[in-house]
Homo-oligomer: A and B are copies of this chain.
Amino acid sequence: MAKPLNIGLIGYGFMGRTHSNAYKRVNDFFDLQYRPTLKAVCGRDAEKVGEFASQWQYESVETDWKALINRDDIDAIDICTPNNMHAEIAIAAAKAGKMVLCEKPLSMDVEEGERMVAAVAEAGVANTVWYNYRRVPAVTLAKQLVDEGRLGRIFHYRAQFLQDWTIDAALPQGGAALWRLDAGAAGSGVTGDLLAHCIDTAIWLNGSIQDVTAMTETFVKERMHNLTGQVEKVGIDDACAFLCHFENGSLGLFESTRYARGHKALYTFEINGEHGSLRWDLHDLHRLEYFDHREESIIRGWHDVHVTDGDMPYMDKWWVPGLQIGYEHTFVHQVADFLEDLAAGRPTSPTFAEALETQKVCQAVLESAEKTAWTFV
């Protein structure tokens, strides 16, 4: 019989939904020693958070996150707030002895992140950051193939995260669901929101990044801010691209934007090695493309691997070959891993400490763009 793990969720927007879904579904598919319980959800607007609690069947509601953290019946705090609240909540939660699951990016900057890492270390609490794309089965498979050495020495890594939802100049720059456009709440624009995902995966697959040269752009310079009702200067980056060197000698190329017409959430990466290459694309997340130069030349070509069979990562838990899963399953996988690791006394990657490295790269990227100069991480 699985032991309950009482969850206290803070924030009930898009990520609040993906996490709640993950907690509710995980035990239907994975055999685990823990079973998450939706104990409480916290938000400032009592009516809205109440509706969310009702829809998702949370047992209780809080409007003050400090009150939530102090409840004895909460085992783990899950932070789904805008970025500017991550550090304060996470540090307080750790001090209160709670496990902490924090949405990405870890923090507003490196300094905050370092304090968060110190706090969870000092408290000795389980911690993880929701870089969910590591747990797309095709991406986990890519990690496995790289770790097996199939690609040989790596020459190139490239990634992009392209969206097109902020091109309309009439879109406000903040307020509620639009906090990602508000520099005060988000810290940065696409760098923290999108590139952070690309960087996390890149470090995981290809190791550390040493130095970067970057450029950022804000195409729409002023927008109405919903909270103030004023047209204000836009503080976030609409687009960001950088070149870099990895510690293993390979070259990196990264780009993200919210101004690429025709792309909704096109996160792609490709890695080229001496013997082979891999590429993946979030718009068809259930596929991995693989090339192996050592194959016989007349049948050599990119393999289009439909990652749905039972011997693929996580896929023995779902349906039958050919039947695809989707975006939300990545969160289920992260919860499953977290619960397994908890039972085994292992950390769950990426921990706060691991996610801090991504934060350092993001900060170096923004500094490089600001200074228009190569910058060490």
Candidates B141, B241, B276; contact of A262 at CB < 8 Å? B276
Complex formed: what's the CA distance from A273 to B263 in Å? 12
Complex formed: what's the CA distance from A88 to B217 in Å? 43
Q: How far is the CB of A279 from chain B (nearest CB, A)?
A: 9
Interface pair A306/B156, CB less than 8 Å apart:
no
Asked if A204 is at the interface of the complex by the 8 Å CB criterion, the answer is no
Interface pair A304/B301, CB less than 8 Å apart:
yes
Cβ contacts under 8 Å, A239 to chain B: 155-156, 251
Interface pair B300/A303, CB less than 8 Å apart:
yes
8 A Cβ contacts from A147-162 to B: 151, 155-156, 158, 162
Candidates B156, B214, B249, B374; contact of A257 at CB < 8 Å? B156
Asked if A346 is at the interface of the complex by the 8 Å CB criterion, the answer is no
Candidates B156, B255, B286; contact of A259 at CB < 8 Å? B156
Cβ contacts under 8 Å, A298 to chain B: 141, 144-145, 305, 311-312
User: Which applies to chain A's interface (DSSP): helix, strand, loop or mixed?
Assistant: mixed
The interface bits of chain A over 283-314 (1 if a CB of B lies within 8 angstroms of the residue's CB, else 0) are 11111011111000111111111101101100
Candidates B242, B253, B321; contact of A265 at CB < 8 Å? B321
Complex formed: what's the CA distance from A21 to B263 in Å? 31
The interface bits of chain A over 205-248 (1 if a CB of B lies within 8 angstroms of the residue's CB, else 0) are 00000000111010100000000000000000001011101000
The range of chain A's interface size is: 35 or more
Complex formed: what's the CA distance from A151 to B318 in Å? 31
Chain B, Cβ-Cβ closest to A318:
B328
Q: How far is the CB of A57 from chain B (nearest CB, A)?
A: 8
Query: Quick one: given A215-B245, A304-B301, A322-B266, are A284 and B284 in contact (CB under 8 Å)?
Result: yes
Complex formed: what's the CA distance from A239 to B249 in Å? 12
Complex formed: what's the CA distance from A298 to B146 in Å? 13
Asked if A115 is at the interface of the complex by the 8 Å CB criterion, the answer is no
Interface-side segment among A24-32, A334-342, A352-360: A24-32
Candidates B141, B260, B300, B301; contact of A156 at CB < 8 Å? B260
Cβ contacts under 8 Å, A299 to chain B: 145, 290, 292, 303, 305
Cβ contacts under 8 Å, A321 to chain B: 165, 264-265
Complex formed: what's the CA distance from A55 to B35 in Å? 11
The interface bits of chain A over 308-334 (1 if a CB of B lies within 8 angstroms of the residue's CB, else 0) are 110110000011111111111100000
Interface pair A20/B28, CB less than 8 Å apart:
yes
Interface pair B300/A302, CB less than 8 Å apart:
no
Interface pair A293/B245, CB less than 8 Å apart:
no
Interface pair A253/B251, CB less than 8 Å apart:
no
Chain B, Cβ-Cβ closest to A302:
B304
Asked if A373 is at the interface of the complex by the 8 Å CB criterion, the answer is yes
Cβ contacts under 8 Å, A164 to chain B: 272, 293
Asked if A74 is at the interface of the complex by the 8 Å CB criterion, the answer is no
Query: Quick one: given A155-B219, A251-B215, are A265 and B303 in contact (CB under 8 Å)?
Result: no
A–B complex contacts, Cβ < 8 Å, 11 sampled:
A24-B25, A28-B56, A155-B239, A162-B272, A214-B243, A264-B323, A265-B323, A298-B305, A304-B304, A323-B328, A326-B326
A residues sitting closer than 8 Å to B (CB atoms) are 14, 17-18, 20-21, 24-25, 27-28, 31, 55-57, 141, 144-145, 151, 155-156, 158, 162-165, 167, 213-215, 217, 219, 239, 241-243, 245, 249, 251, 253, 255, 257, 259-266, 272-277, 282-287, 289-293, 297-306, 308-309, 311-312, 318-329, 372-374
